[in-house]
Every structure is written in C-alpha cells, then in structure tokens.
Amino acid sequence: MNVEPQSLEALIGEFASLPGIGRKTARRMAYHMLSKSKSDVERFANNLINAATKVHPCPCCHAFTEDDTCNTCIERRGAKTLCVVEKSSDIIPFERSGIYKGLYFVLGGVISPLDGVGPEHLHLPQLINRIKDEGIEELVLALGSSTEADSTALMIDRMLTGIDVKRTRLARGIPMGSELEFVDEITMLRAFEGRVCL
C-alpha cells in the first residue's frame, strides 16, 4: 500500500534526484516543504526557474553568469594570467582567498575515458585561441589532483608546444588544519618531495 499522496511522492522523487541525497533524506525534505507557507514554496519554485533561465555559461570563459559576458572577463580584460579550472564552481575558492587577480577559463571537465569524456567534449580549441589572441603569459592549470586531471593537464601542456606561454600548476602538500596522522600516502609523498627551506 502506498501511503503517500501522489504529488508528495513526486516531490520526494525530485529531491532524491539531487546529488548525494537518498530516499530518506528526500522524504524529510519533502515533508519539510509541506510545513512551509505557500509563499515560501512559490519563492523556492520561482528561484529554481529563475536560476535555470537566467544563468548561462559566459561565452568567453564558460563560467556561469547572468550577463552577456561575465564580470571577471570584463573587469580583468587585458590581464596576462589565465587560470584553467574544470568547472565553474572551482572558481569560488580562488576568489574567496583573494590571492588571484587574473582571468579564468572553465574547461568543462577532464578527460576520463571510463566516463566517456574525450578531448572533444572539452573547450580546448577555445582555450588555445584565447591564449594566442590575448597574449596570455602564464597559464595556471588548476584541474584538481586526480589521475584524469593530471593527464588532461599533460595533454594541454603538449598542445601548447611552440606557443610562448609559461605553464604552472598549484602546489601540492598538506592542507591547512589537517592532522599529519591522517594524511594519505600520496599527499605525504608530494608534500615531502615539495619541501621548502625555512
């Protein structure tokens, strides 16, 4: 016997389709929504539609924006450093730290044959064009630390043979606040290899 009304069942299904959300949590969310006022629920629904309608990739860097061209591409026009990230949300920690003042480029993924992602699925030609057209002097490859990310970075490095652009990647080592005891082998290996003089 199905004890839940059909429209509630449908809403549970929607929440359960979100990343990392199981059936039980989805049910809790749906019941939570029923306890909200009608105007709260309408605002939620409108914000969903709004975000999906207004937000699109910047034609220049592929980061999410509501404008024709994103703020960063406009405000930092002429900068000679370009930071390549996998996805739009990877830009957030850079901007939050305030350390980086250059341009960004969202690659749209990393090469992963197992997931069916090949070089043709990434914005590689646009990246190369942008480096050439804007006279980029330094390319910071910030593609994460998986094997797939490493091989994608390597491939970009090879594609740039003959183009005069310095290529860098983020430092690898022990993250802030981490207990040495729980650091994995690979991180420890890289932290030791990259040790610096005091």
**Closer by beta carbon to a second copy, 41 or else 163:** 41
d(CA 155, CA 145): 15
Among residue numbers 7 through 66, which ones bind a second copy (CB under 8 A)?
7-8, 10-11, 13-15, 18-21, 25, 27-34, 36, 38, 41-55, 63-66
Q: Closest approach of Cβ 41 to a second copy, in Å?
A: 4
Give burial (CB, 10 Å; 0-12/13-18/19+) of 142: buried
Alpha-carbon dihedral sign for residues 64, 138, 132, 148 = negative
Q: Which is nearer to a second copy, 66 or 164 (CB)?
A: 66
Cα–Cα distance, 111 to 156 (Å, whole number): 11
Q: Which of 71, 66, 46 is nearest to 56 (CA)?
A: 66
The yes or no reply on residue 197 touching a second copy (CB under 8 A) is no
Binding region for a second copy (CB under 8 A): 1, 3-8, 10-11, 13-15, 18-21, 25, 27-34, 36, 38, 41-55, 63-67, 71-72, 87-89, 91-92, 95
